[in-house]
Amino acid sequence: MNSAFSGDRQQRGNVVPIARRNVVLLLCVALLAACGSAARERFDAAVSACHTNTTRVAKVLCFEDGMRRYAAETNYPYPDLLNLMFAHLRTLAGKRDRGEITEGDFQIQIAELQTRIAAEEQRRNAIARGVAAQGQAASGAQLQGLGIFLRSMQPR
């Protein structure tokens, strides 16, 4: 089976193709609500081109380039999360390329990273929604207060 990461090992008789899917999911997790199909097509083409790289580090660097362009095109609001994610991915990929961690550990750590990034993004989105709701409530209260004031100014 063709994998994004060369050198996938067979474990207990099953090929481990999950690494490619996990990395692509991790890279796309924050950008699923993409704005434009043209941007998505360019991103997909960039990701496809990354599969020709032979090391995990080279693949991560290639994915990073495509993801950063896609994030810029779609106005992704958390570039610091991309920085954090790719710093960790480069480290993990290097460890796997050097044989310092197993394929299973590599996949587990990617899944944990994906979970942490997604949770932080959700936390930030919830805060942004709360701030927006507070602003709307404040505007509503101001309009209500203005209405009361204007009614009180009318002759009886």
Q: Which of the residue ranges 42-46, 56-60, 139-143, 148-152 has the most confident prediction, judged by mean pLDDT?
A: 56-60
pLDDT range class, residue 56, cuts 50, 70, 90: very high
CB count in 10 Å sphere of residue 118? 15
pLDDT grade for 12, boundaries at 50, 70 and 90: very low
d(CA 6, CA 46): 18
Please give the model's pTM, rounded to 2 decimal places: 0.60
- Two tokens, residue 122: 């959700």
**What are the pLDDT digits (tens) for 102-153?**
999 999 999 999 999 999 999 999 888 887 777 666 666 556 655 565 555 5
Angle at 64 between CA 5 and CA 117, to 5 degrees: 90
